C-alpha cells in the first residue's frame, strides 16, 4: 500500500466511474435551463425578451458571491472533517429546485412568471454550487499527477456529455415537442429531477471511494478572504478564468439560441433535438482523442485548437439557410468536437493551478464555478439582447406570431457571428496562460514542495 505522500499512478476504474456518475445530474442542470428556459419564458409564458434575459441573468449575479463563499465553506469542511461530504449531500436537493423552475403556476404569465422562474433559479444555483464546488475540488485533493488529473476529468467529461446529450434530447420531447405546453414542461421537470437525484447520490459515493484510494494529506487551509485574495492574485489562474468566462458565455449563448435557430431560421422546431445531438454527441467519441492530444502536445495547445475550431464553425452558422441543412449540421458537429475539448481541458488545468498555488482547493474551485455560472447567465442574456435589438415578438404557448425581418436576422447573427467573436476573445486570453509547460514537466506528488 502506498504511503500518505506517495503519488498514485493510476486510479482504479470503478471509483472513477462512480465519481463521473455525479456529472449526469449536473449535466441536466447545465443543459436544460440553458437550452429551454429562455424559450420557455418568451414562447410559453409570454415574457418579453429583455425581461426574460434579465430573469436569467440576475440570479446568476448572486453566484459571483455565493460560489466563492461555498468554496470557503468547502475548505473549512475539509480542514475540520477531512472531507467535503456534507456540502455534497446538501447539493443533492438540487432536483427539487430544477422541478420548480418549470412548475410555474397556471395563473402566472409575463412578469410574475419571470419572477417565479428567477426565484427558483436562485435556489437552484445555490444548491448546484453546494454540489459542484466540492465535486470539482476532488482532483486537487488526490495524490495524482498531471496526466492522471486529465484522465480523471476525461471520465467525468464523457459521463457529463452523456447527461447533456440525454437531457438535451429528452427535455424537448418530454415537454411536448412542437406543441409544448405548461403541463408538458412541468412533467419534463419532474421526470428529469428523479434521474438527477439518483446520479448525484452515486457521485457522492464515488468521491468517497476515490478518497479512500488516493486522498492527499489535509493541508489545513480554511479558505476565507486571505485564500480568496491569493486565488485572485494568481496570475495564471486569472488568465485561465478570464478565458473560461469567454468560453462558457459562448457555449451557453449557442445553447440558448438552438430552439430559435431551428424554428425561425431553419423553419422546423423539431430540428432542435437534431442540433443538440450534433453539438453534444461528438464529445462521446472525441474525448479520448482530446486526452491523447493533451498527452502529446499539452493541455494549453490542445485547448487553443479547440477554441479556434469553435470560432470557425460559428462563422459557418452565420450563413444560415443558404448554406444547406447538411452543412449547418456539420458545422454544429464541429462546434461539438471543440466543445468536448473546452469542457475537458480547462477543468483538467484548474487542479494544475491549485497545485502550484495556495492549495485552498475549495476557494479556487468556488471562483472557477462562479465564472462558469456567470458565463451560463451572460450567454442567454446576450442572445436575449440580440432578440430584443431585432424586435423579436414574444408569444404564449399555441399563439402564432410573425417575426419581423430584423428579428430573423438577429436570430441568425446572434447564433453565428457573436459566438465567433466571443471565442476569438477566449483565444487571445488563453494565450496569456503559461503554466502548462511547467506543470507538465513537474508532475510531482502532492506532498512535494512547489
Residue with cell 447527461: 163
Domain end call among 214, 242, 271: 214
79 within a domain of the structure (yes/no)? yes
Same domain, 287 and 348: yes
For residue 440, what pLDDT is reported? 67
Final residue in a domain of this structure, among 183, 214, 245:
214
Shared domain check, 431 and 357: yes
**Bridge partners for 396 per DSSP:** 45
Q: What is the pLDDT of residue 243?
A: 96
Within a domain: 225? no
414 in a structural domain = yes
Give the C-alpha separation, 267 to 7, whole Å: 55
Cell numbers 458537429 correspond to what residue? Answer: 333
Residue 3 lies in a domain: no
Low-confidence ranges of the chain (pLDDT < 70): 1-9, 178, 214-228, 356-359, 396-399, 438-450
Residue 282 lies in domain: 233-435
Q: What is the pLDDT of residue 447?
A: 37
Q: Are residues 91 and 145 in the same domain?
A: yes
In a domain, 22, yes or no: yes
**39-59 pLDDT tens trace:** 888 888 888 888 988 888 777
Q: 143 with 287, same domain?
A: no
Task: Out of 152, 187, 214, pick the residue that ends a domain.
Answer: 214
Whole-angstrom distance, CA of residue 236 vs CA of residue 234: 6
Angle at which helix 235-260 crosses helix 271-280, to 10 degrees, equals: 160
CB-based contact 437:298 (threshold 8 Å): yes
How many domains, in total, are found in the chain?
A: 2
Q: Are residues 82 and 186 in the same domain?
A: yes
Within a domain: 94:
yes
Q: How far is CA 47 from the centre of its chain?
A: 25
Which pLDDT score, from 0 to 100, does residue 449 have? 34
pTM: 0.75
Q: What pLDDT was estimated at residue 418?
A: 93
Let me know whether 310 and 420 are in one domain.
yes
pLDDT score recorded for residue 380: 85
| 209 alpha-carbon distance from chain centroid | 25
What are 259-312's pLDDT values in tens digits?
A: 888 888 888 877 888 888 888 888 778 888 998 998 899 999 999 999 999 999
Q: Identify whether residues 35 and 159 lie together within a single domain.
A: yes
**What is the CATH number for 427?**
1.20.1250.20
- Residue 133 falls inside a structural domain: yes
Amino acid at each position: 500500500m502506498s504511503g500518505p505522500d506517495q503519488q498514485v499512478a493510476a486510479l482504479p476504474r470503478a471509483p472513477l466511474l462512480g465519481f463521473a456518475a455525479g456529472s449526469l445530474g449536473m449535466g441536466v442542470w447545465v443543459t436544460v435551463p440553458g437550452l429551454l428556459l429562455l424559450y420557455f419564458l418568451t414562447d410559453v409564458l409570454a415574457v418579453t425578451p429583455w425581461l426574460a434575459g434579465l430573469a436569467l441573468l440576475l440570479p446568476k449575479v448572486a453566484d459571483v458571491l455565493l460560489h466563492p463563499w461555498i468554496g470557503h465553506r468547502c475548505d473549512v469542511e475539509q480542514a475540520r472533517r477531512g472531507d467535503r461530504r456534507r456540502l455534497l449531500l446538501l447539493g443533492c436537493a438540487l432536483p427539487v429546485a430544477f422541478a420548480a423552475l418549470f412548475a410555474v403556476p397556471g395563473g402566472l404569465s409575463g412578469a410574475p412568471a419571470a419572477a417565479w422562474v428567477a426565484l427558483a433559479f436562485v435556489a437552484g444555483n445555490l444548491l448546484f454550487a453546494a454540489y459542484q464546488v466540492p465535486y470539482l475540488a476532488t482532483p486537487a485533493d488526490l495524490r495524482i499527477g498531471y496526466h492522471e488529473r486529465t484522465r480523471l476529468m476525461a471520465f467525468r467529461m464523457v459521463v457529463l456529455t452523456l447527461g447533456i446529450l440525454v437531457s438535451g434530447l429528452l427535455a424537448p420531447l418530454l415537454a411536448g415537442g412542437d406543441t409544448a405546453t405548461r403541463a408538458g414542461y412541468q412533467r419534463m421537470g419532474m421526470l428529469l429531477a428523479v434521474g438527477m437525484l439518483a446520479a448525484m447520490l452515486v457521485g457522492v459515493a464515488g468521491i468517497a471511494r476515490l478518497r479512500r484510494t488516493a486522498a492527499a494529506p489535509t493541508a489545513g487551509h480554511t479558505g476565507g478572504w486571505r485564500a480568496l485574495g491569493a486565488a485572485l492574485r494568481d496570475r495564471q489562474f486569472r488568465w485561465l478564468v478570464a478565458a473560461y468566462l469567454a468560453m462558457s458565455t459562448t457555449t451557453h449563448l449557442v445553447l440558448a439560441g438552438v430552439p430559435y435557430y431551428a424554428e425561425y431560421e431553419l423553419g422546423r422546431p423539431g430540428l432542435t433535438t437534431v442540433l443538440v445531438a450534433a453539438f453534444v454527441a461528438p464529445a462521446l467519441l472525441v474525448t479520448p482523442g482530446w486526452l491523447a492530444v493533451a498527452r502529446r502536445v499539452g493541455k494549453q495547445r490542445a485547448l487553443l485548437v479547440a477554441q479556434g475550431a469553435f470560432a470557425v464553425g460559428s462563422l459557418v452558422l452565420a450563413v444560415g439557410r443558404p448554406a444547406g441543412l447538411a452543412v449547418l449540421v456539420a458545422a454544429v458537429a464541429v462546434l461539438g468536437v471543440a466543445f468536448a475539448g473546452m469542457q475537458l481541458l480547462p477543468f483538467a488545468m484548474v487542479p494544475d493551478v491549485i497545485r502550484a498555488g495556495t492549495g485552498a482547493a475549495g476557494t479556487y474551485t468556488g471562483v472557477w464555478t462562479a465564472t462558469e455560472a456567470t458565463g451560463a447567465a451572460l450567454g442567454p442574456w446576450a442572445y436575449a439582447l440580440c432578440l430584443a435589438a431585432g424586435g423579436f415578438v414574444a408569444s404564449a404557448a399555441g399563439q402564432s406570431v410573425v417575426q419581423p425581418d430584423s428579428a430573423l436576422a438577429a436570430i441568425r447573427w446572434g447564433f453565428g457571428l457573436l459566438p465567433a467573436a466571443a471565442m476569438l476573445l477566449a483565444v487571445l486570453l488563453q494565450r496569456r496562460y503559461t503554466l502548462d509547460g511547467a506543470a507538465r514537466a513537474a508532475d510531482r506528488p502532492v506532498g512535494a514542495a512547489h
